[in-house]
Amino acid sequence: MRTAFYISDGTAITSEVFGHALLSLFPMEFEHITVPFVETEQHAKLVVEQIRRAFEQSNERPLVFFTTVNVDIGRIISSSVGINYNFLDQFVAPLEKVIGVPSKPEKHRTHSMHEKTYDIRIEAVNYALANDDGSNIKDYQEADIILVGVSRSGKTPVSLYLALQYGIKAANYPFTEEDMGDILKLPPILRRFQSKLFGLTISANRLHAIRSERKANSRYASMPQCRMELREVENLYRKEKIPCLNSTKYSVEEISAKILAQTGLKRKKY
């Protein structure tokens, strides 16, 4: 199996994202190795040796995706036996020509507590945790969005992802069996903030599987119960014209991106 290295003198998040995006286009498996904070020449030489060993084990030259601000460290990584891709070299020089301003590389500028949106994202994460699962409805006026849906439809992970990645304050509220009654109605607290609501739904089969992992052979996880709850919330979405998304076939990242696209919420990422 061919090895892919993601190397940086910072967090290596950028090289991972670029590298994974490229390799996802190819229908094959790779062994992924991430090496962050390569901040000395000695460390860089050890990484080059690690790349050499990977080549000897697989007999295939490793793919090396790296971003380094330090020129000397970058030169050492580039000397490896791998097939080396320095993302900054690929794009910085052409951008300097287009923008007409020389770049000023600085370590840890993109992913550190000193980036402009760091405090915004931390505050959003704290908000998501404090307003999870309908536990704190008194702060909904601060929410950028309120996710609603049945239990285990993906509200909590999406709320946290929106907060951590984009600085969006996302609360979430679960519709439970007790809410259903004869017919599910929008609770008064949610009606006050109806413009902020976004509904999640999911296939009955997927919901049944997820709930069965949590409470096997329970009424909560039974297929009839899953179907009934989903039918009620989807009817509510239609009746109240609440925008919604079926999360069955999407990852948390994809769900979050689709929500942003549908709602027009501004990403507070940079």
pLDDT tens per residue across span 38-55: 999 999 999 999 999 999
Q: How far apart are CA 216 and CA 263, in angstroms?
A: 36
Confidence band for 142, pLDDT divided at 50, 70 and 90? very high
- 159 and 190 both lie in a single domain: yes
- 144 and 213 both lie in a single domain: yes
- 98-113 pLDDT, tens digit each: 888 887 766 555 555 5
CATH label of the domain that carries residue 128: 3.40.50
Residue 112, in any domain of the structure? no
C-alpha to C-alpha distances, 204 to 46, 160, 219, 228, nearest whole angstrom: 51, 24, 14, 9
Does residue 256 have a pLDDT over 60? yes
Residue 110, in any domain of the structure? no
**CA quadruple 47, 48, 53, 56: dihedral positive or negative?**
positive
Does residue 159 have a pLDDT over 80? yes
Question: What is the b/e burial string over 2-31, where b = at least 16 CB atoms within 10 angstroms of the residue's CB?
Answer: bbbbbbbbbbbebbbebbeeebeeeeeebe
Residue 145, in any domain of the structure? yes
Residue 270, in any domain of the structure? no
Higher pLDDT residue, 92 or 193? 193
- 198 and 251 both lie in a single domain: yes
* Structural domains in the chain (count): 2
Q: What tokens appear for 257 in the block? A: 């991106």
The answer to whether the beta carbons of residues 67 and 91 sit under 8 Å apart is no
The answer to whether the beta carbons of residues 39 and 67 sit under 8 Å apart is no
Residue 172, in any domain of the structure? yes
Does residue 231 have a pLDDT over 80? yes
Arithmetic mean of pLDDT, 10-34? 92
pLDDT (0 to 100) of residue 237 = 97
Residue 106, in any domain of the structure? no
Q: How far apart are CA 55 and CA 152, in angstroms?
A: 44
- 56 and 133 both lie in a single domain: no
pLDDT (0 to 100) of residue 146 = 98
Residue 111, in any domain of the structure? no
Domain span at 222: 118-263
- 21 and 58 both lie in a single domain: yes
pLDDT (0 to 100) of residue 110 = 58
In the β-sheet with 244-246, what is the strand arrangement from edge to edge?
170-175, 145-150, 197-201, 244-246
Partners of 66 in beta bridges? 7, 86
Does residue 87 have a pLDDT over 90? no
The proportion of the chain whose per-residue pLDDT surpasses 70, expressed as a percent, equals: 95
DSSP 183-238: S----HHHHTTGGGEEEEE--HHHHHHHHHHHSTTSTTTSHHHHHHHHHHHHHHHH
